[in-house]
Structure 1
């Protein structure tokens, strides 16, 4: 594997004449062209972005970098829920991505052979902690986390106040259920619901088959003193059912209609004041502000499921966003990619975009602090001694596991019987072992 110092020595032997322009996500079908070849440019970047909600911000940032340096940066954003299949398709073409993402150690297994060693590169040396790097050997770093995010239940405090409650009234699942059930009982009087639609369309179901499913996994791992497993027991699936029941009953939308409800539907319901609560993450902040909500009328509370020490529970904080540089790219393109990454996490333009527009906490020494109120709430709760819930859904054995769970949840939402919940449990427990064995044997 090529080392950073060797690459610098090679690249220093020639002078690059750089030119180009950024591209949009519509370029995915054309990505097998020779990026940066025009006008004798040497070195270009092709970033396959995982997060659709940040597509516009990445396109703008790529454009700024190209204007400043002349280096061609193309950003292609995979459709929600289709990143892995898009990545497999794009990596099979000439002009493959020079920069792509994995969700953690499980996702890295498929792509470790393509990973350029990032150890001792400028972007690696900017990390505030080696804990944000995925090591595959001593002095061998396959991926680095570029953002830390939090998720929980976003609250419209203005509506909550109209219903006669304060955020401080919700310190547990019991409290949350009491408030949500009361709002539902007075829905016609209040003219709003408790929860936005728990949409099970592909643009939204990840909130429940991954992010919400993290909660029973987290508490099982905590109880058993582990960080992953080849066979989940499902110890806290009754709690998972309790919170999901709340989402689908105290909602803007009947459970039978959730299969077609999208992520945009849920967000728009919250923006238009149709519901008090909306499960999502810090990445949603700018979209909410841009569409008329004020920072002082929104906050985020933990996802309570009636497990653990709820009085000391914080937001769910972590990352599934790790950058990997494609070692199969040309030396010039690798160098251009490393330069772009370092610019993103050190320059005023890059860190401002990542902190303010994308809503990230970026774990790099020269990064700008975020003004995102959800990020600040995570900081506040942590400083108060609350324990953040870790991101354990990165240990889920496969994308197929998530999809099977999502299908079972959708069926249950439409007809919430014990028999249909048993299918959810089977998808969660039995299919975990099946998918783990397929991925590891």
Structure 2
């Protein structure tokens, strides 16, 4: 196989380390072309001037990054601009911005597939201060001997539950530790929906602000379990062994929801969140990054919420943990001016070593960061992930990092959306299996 497969396999070997420490989704679909400036070693001394332009991947953390950038500029005098791509548009935004006269100096890739497309723009971080702050080499994204990316957050996702509503329906989260349990609970809530005044699941919105939850995060489940069976970390020919299980959990979501399946094409991520916030649904598939949107004045308290694993009826479900890993790797633009590269390296290092930076990442962003000076996050879902792991439950690794392209995801989302409107599941299977093979053939060709 070609180098992208080797990169993906290398990262998958680190997945156990990533999970043992316990995030929206975008992957490149085409290479941007060759860089005129090759990757270089980190400068030995900080530059006296320069500026930073960070193209942020995570819309839910935009305000926190804007505040942190402002604080850094006030402290150092170095200008820091943060631009946040809209949900599901990161790749297009990066391709547009990187070609401008003042391109991003700091951007991100999702892992080995993204790195394969963008590595000609990536500065070699070997020898940099920020690289030295990592708690493990497992969080460094390499191409040969060069370190071209650094993981900056470890996250978890699963099914967020409103414990108050579950109690009203006669259930506790401790009652649910298998797909059969989840199905029985959801279908019972649906049967008593009018009496209870709420649905089982918030809407599985299939517009671009929400479909990543299903064409990437939910799709992780059949990929992960197929890999587990085969003892592999990547394949260019997925067989779809567990696509019946994928169908079963997706059917559970869309048939026990706040709305009819046929209207899901127009439902957004905000719709799904707002339904959950309003107490219209007991369950909401999302991740630890969503914590800040759910807790606070006029919202939930920690006592109201829990995150449970996404059960699909495979494996040792009683000992399954949350889906934990990272798809967030910082990369420095090696084509930027030398002084801007150094300014960017200094900013990154400040974020992960200073009290203000680490506090903002832990408290305002809810991050678990893989750096030596990390502060403990108050994020409930982060704590629950740690508790699952401490109890001996096995985290589900992020196998979706080996998805071949954004095109594959988009086509899968289209097939899923058509299915919610009465289309054939066979089209979903075809895209999953045949689309996977054709996209990998294009990557490796």
CA RMSD of aligned residues (A): 0.9
Q: CA deviation at 1:355?
A: 1.2
Partner of 1:371: 378
Number of matched pairs: 406
Q: What are structure 1's unaligned runs of at least 5 residues?
A: 17-41
Secondary structure at 1:111 match in 2: helix
Secondary structure at 1:176 match in 2: helix
1:433 aligns to 2:437 (yes or no): yes
Q: CA deviation at 1:2?
A: 2.4
Partner of 1:424: 428
Secondary structure at 1:400 match in 2: helix
CA deviation vs aligned residue, 1:323-380 (integer Å, no higher than 9, x gap): 0000111111011000100111111111111111211110000010111010000000
Partner of 2:277: 271
Partner of 1:344: 351
**TM-score when scaled to structure 2?**
0.90
Partner of 1:36: none
Aligned positions of 1:292-303 closer than 5 A: 292-303=299-310
Aligned positions of 1:274-285 closer than 5 A: 274-285=280-291
For residues 120 and 313 of structure 1, the distance between their equivalents in structure 2, rounded to whole angstroms, comes to 38
Counterpart of 2:88 (choices 64, 69, 81) is 81
Counterpart of 1:96 (choices 83, 96, 103) is 103
Higher relative contact order, chain-length normalized (CA < 8 Å, sep 6+): 2
Aligned positions of 1:44-193 closer than 5 A: 44-138=51-145, 140-193=146-199
Aligned positions of 1:250-329 closer than 5 A: 250-290=256-296, 291-329=298-336
Q: What are structure 2's unaligned runs of at least 5 residues?
A: 1-38
Secondary structure at 2:295 match in 1: helix
Partner of 2:9: none
Q: CA deviation at 1:8?
A: 2.7
For residues 355 and 227 of structure 1, the distance between their equivalents in structure 2, rounded to whole angstroms, comes to 30
CA deviation vs aligned residue, 1:305-328 (integer Å, no higher than 9, x gap): 001110110000001000000011
Secondary structure at 1:76 match in 2: strand
Report runs of 4+ in structure 1 exceeding 3 Å deviation: none
Aligned positions of 1:395-410 closer than 5 A: 395-410=402-417
CA deviation vs aligned residue, 1:205-234 (integer Å, no higher than 9, x gap): 000000000000000000011111101000
Partner of 1:334: 341
Partner of 1:38: none
For residues 388 and 356 of structure 1, the distance between their equivalents in structure 2, rounded to whole angstroms, comes to 23
Secondary structure at 1:200 match in 2: coil
Partner of 1:8: 44
For residues 87 and 236 of structure 1, the distance between their equivalents in structure 2, rounded to whole angstroms, comes to 34
For residues 219 and 51 of structure 2, the distance between their equivalents in structure 1, rounded to whole angstroms, comes to 39
Secondary structure at 1:75 match in 2: strand
For residues 157 and 244 of structure 1, the distance between their equivalents in structure 2, rounded to whole angstroms, comes to 22
Secondary structure at 1:280 match in 2: strand
For residues 167 and 53 of structure 1, the distance between their equivalents in structure 2, rounded to whole angstroms, comes to 27
Partner of 1:414: 421
**TM-score when scaled to structure 1?**
0.91
CA deviation vs aligned residue, 1:59-116 (integer Å, no higher than 9, x gap): 1111111111111000011111111111111111111000000000011111101111
Secondary structure at 2:161 match in 1: strand
CA deviation vs aligned residue, 1:378-414 (integer Å, no higher than 9, x gap): 0000000000000011110000000000000001111
For residues 178 and 3 of structure 1, the distance between their equivalents in structure 2, rounded to whole angstroms, comes to 57
